[in-house]
Amino acid sequence: MRPEVRTYLAEIGRRGGLRSRRVLPAETARQMVRLREAKRAFARFHASCFWSSPKTYVVTAEDIPWVARQLMTYGGREGWRIGGKLCR
């Protein structure tokens, strides 16, 4: 690789790294994790807990209590554990 190309790519990477650093409030980060886990649980337990909803349903932050309730009711021991985590 030519030195000027290497310098150019290094500069782009440095600027991108500076822009991508953001600070999230702790509560926002926790909410994002809960939503990600609810989406995973919806996909994993679809056949046993969410069969009446389409597989393409997009779980939102407002759906987290519903997902937790369904998991704790119909998901067995593992569903109960995951639903309990979502309720925190």
Average pLDDT over residues 53-65: 95
**Average pLDDT in the chain:** 90
Alpha helix (H) ranges present in 1-88?
3-20, 26-44, 46-49, 64-74, 76-87
Please say if the pLDDT value at position 76 is more than 90.
yes
- 25 has a pLDDT exceeding 90: no
> pLDDT-derived band of residue 11, with 50, 70 and 90 as boundaries?
confident
Residue 52, SS3? coil
How do the domains of the chain map onto residue ranges?
24-87
Give this prediction's pTM: 0.73
Would you state the pLDDT for residue 26? 86
